[in-house]
């Protein structure tokens, strides 16, 4: 297989030859009007195209349709994300996702699973849209039940360091090759420091899942921004974060420690209306906000990664090249995804997206996963 376009990293017209991995990248002197880049990676997707990944009722066909809708946005690898619920419900959702992954024609795009909660702050604000009744302390036995249900594919766990059990829990899951992420937290400076020393390496959707009012300083947002050992994910939809915070946060973390996530839920890629997020109903408003039904409380997003890349450039002043880096190389680094950390170079996985960009708007044309072109 081969494809051509302007390499997003260099701006040079290139022809890329590949099978499962890239074998050759050579300069191409034919004028080209398309860009090519490593395919987008999203570490936090609760659902898409009307499909809720937290539901044990989600069928293989549902998931196939949802994943193919993600391909149309440039996604090539992602982490379906299961949020706080009853213990049995979380295990069932992971089991269903793992079984479906094996049956999908496009299952390789599911790189692993992200469990967000239930070991988070119980209080309003930091808890976000997670149901309070199922918040509970870190429990290694439960973690191993998740891994059993997920066939060992849980790759990231988001928790709050405020639980006394958190440092030991983090040490143990990191030893198992799982990324420990800080999120939905009301932790103190010392607790965040202890979590990072124990092995936490990522901040989940930093700036969201917080109190409405915080101390000027210190607070758990500043603490995470200031710690160079933490990479940070940002939801660049213009709703979860305003332009000033996004710009300042990206400057604080630096381009090497920042990444984009969508935190997409079932309404993403679908029409306004009512949907499910686990045991809760959510509404997609005509303005593009996803909220718990009957409230103004955000419950994930309707964001897709092509729009996130656009917004990151528009809202923060990043170049298109740097915005794409936040959706490709950086999340691969944060999650330890092999073969995706260097861009379009020989030896890397042939996860490729070809797109046009005019007037700041991205139009995805073709997507390859592991060298196989995907239909959408």
Each residue's pLDDT tens digit, 159-190: 999 999 999 999 999 999 999 999 999 999 99
Residue 325: pLDDT band with limits 50, 70, 90: very high
Q: Is residue 205 within 8 Å of residue 233, measured between CB atoms?
A: yes
Active site residue 263: yes
pLDDT at 235: 98
Q: Dihedrals φ, ψ of 192, to 5°?
A: -65, -45
pLDDT digits (tens, 9 = 90+) for 97-118: 999 999 999 999 999 999 999 9
Q: Dihedrals φ, ψ of 253, to 5°?
A: -75, -30
Q: Quote the radius of gyration of the chain (alpha carbons, Å).
A: 19
Q: Is residue 314 within 8 Å of residue 299, measured between CB atoms?
A: no
Residue 303, helix vs strand vs coil = coil
Sheet with strand 361-369: strands edge to edge: 22-27, 13-18, 2-7, 35-38, 352-358, 361-369, 372-373
Distance from C-alpha of 144 to C-alpha of 84, rounded to nearest angstrom:
16
pLDDT at 366: 97
Burial status of residue 329 (CB atoms within 10 A of its CB: 0-12, 13-18, 19 or more): buried
17 C-beta neighbours (distance < 10 Å), count:
14
Q: Is residue 334 within 8 Å of residue 352, measured between CB atoms?
A: no
Angle made by CA atoms 343, 106, 153, in degrees to the nearest 5: 75
Tokens of 316: 């923060």
pLDDT at 57: 87
pLDDT of residue 125 exceeding 90, the answer is: yes
Residue 282, helix vs strand vs coil = strand
Average pLDDT over residues 228-234: 98
Q: Is residue 91 within 8 Å of residue 149, measured between CB atoms?
A: yes
For 39-341, the fitting CATH number among 3.40.50.970, 2.60.120.10, 3.20.20.140, 3.40.190.10 is 3.20.20.140
Q: Would you say how long the chain is, in residues?
A: 376
Average pLDDT over residues 3-28: 95
117 C-beta neighbours (distance < 10 Å), count:
26
- What sign results for the dihedral spanned by CA atoms 275, 235, 325, 338? negative
Name residue, tokens 């999203």. 42
DSSP secondary structure letter of residue 135: -
pLDDT at 120: 98
Give buried/exposed letters for 135-167 (b at 16+ CB in 10 A, else e): bbebeeebbebbbebbeebbbbbbbbbbbeebb
Average pLDDT over residues 343-366: 96
For the entire predicted model, the pTM comes to: 0.97
pLDDT at 30: 75
Average pLDDT over residues 69-73: 98
What whole-number percentage of the chain has pLDDT above 90?
Answer: 97
Residue 56: pLDDT band with limits 50, 70, 90: confident
pLDDT at 207: 97
Average pLDDT over residues 263-273: 96
pLDDT of residue 304 exceeding 90, the answer is: yes
Q: Is residue 111 within 8 Å of residue 370, measured between CB atoms?
A: no
CA torsion, points 13, 319, 74, 107, in degrees to nearest 10?
Answer: 100
What whole-number percentage of the chain has pLDDT above 70?
Answer: 100
DSSP secondary structure letter of residue 374: P
Of 52, 62, 263, 322, the active-site residue reads 263
Distance from C-alpha of 307 to C-alpha of 92, rounded to nearest angstrom:
32
pLDDT at 1: 79
DSSP string, 111-135: --EEEE-SSS--STTTTTTS-GGG-
pLDDT of residue 206 exceeding 90, the answer is: yes
Q: Is residue 43 within 8 Å of residue 331, measured between CB atoms?
A: yes
Give the residues across from 355 on adjacent strands: 35, 364
Kind of pairing, strands 258-260 and 231-234?
parallel
Q: Is residue 289 within 8 Å of residue 330, measured between CB atoms?
A: no
């Amino acid at each position: 297989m081969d494809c051509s376009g302007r390499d997003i990293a260099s701006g040079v017209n290139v022809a890329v030859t590949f099978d499962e991995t890239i074998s050759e990248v050579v300069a191409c002197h034919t004028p080209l009007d398309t860009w090519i880049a490593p395919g987008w990676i999203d570490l936090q997707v609760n659902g898409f195209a009307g499909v809720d990944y937290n539901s044990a009722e989600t069928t293989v066909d549902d998931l196939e349709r949802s994943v193919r809708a993600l391909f149309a946005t440039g996604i090539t690898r992602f982490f379906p994300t299961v949020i706080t619920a009853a213990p049995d419900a979380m295990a069932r959702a992971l089991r269903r996702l793992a079984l479906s992954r094996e049956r999908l024609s496009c299952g390789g795009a599911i790189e692993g699973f992200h469990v967000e909660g239930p070991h988070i702050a119980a209080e309003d604000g930091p808890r976000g849209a997670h149901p309070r009744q199922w918040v509970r302390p870190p429990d290694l036995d439960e973690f191993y039940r998740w891994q059993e249900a997920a066939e060992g594919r849980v790759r990231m766990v988001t928790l709050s360091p405020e639980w006394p059990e958190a440092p030991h829990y983090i040490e143990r899951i990191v030893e198992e090759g799982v990324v420990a992420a800080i999120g939905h937290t009301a932790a103190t400076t010392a607790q965040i420091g202890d979590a990072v020393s124990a092995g936490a390496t990522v901040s989940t959707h930093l700036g969201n899942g917080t109190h409405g009012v915080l101390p000027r300083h210190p607070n758990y947002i500043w603490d995470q921004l200031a710690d160079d050992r933490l990479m940070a994910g940002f939801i660049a939809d213009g709703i979860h974060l305003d332009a000033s915070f996004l710009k300042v946060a990206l400057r604080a973390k630096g381009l090497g420690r920042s990444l984009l996530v969508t935190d997409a839920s079932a309404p993403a890629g679908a029409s306004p209306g009512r949907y499910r997020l686990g045991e809760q109903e959510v509404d997609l408003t005509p303005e593009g906000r996803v909220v718990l039904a009957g409230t103004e409380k955000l419950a994930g997003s309707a964001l897709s990664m092509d729009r996130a890349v656009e917004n990151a450039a528009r809202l923060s002043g990043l170049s298109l090249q740097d915005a794409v880096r936040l959706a490709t190389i950086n999340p691969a680094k944060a999650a330890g995804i092999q073969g995706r950390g260097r861009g379009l170079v020989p030896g890397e996985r042939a996860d490729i997206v070809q797109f046009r960009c005019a007037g700041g708007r991205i139009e995805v044309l073709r997507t390859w996963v592991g060298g196989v072109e995907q239909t959408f």
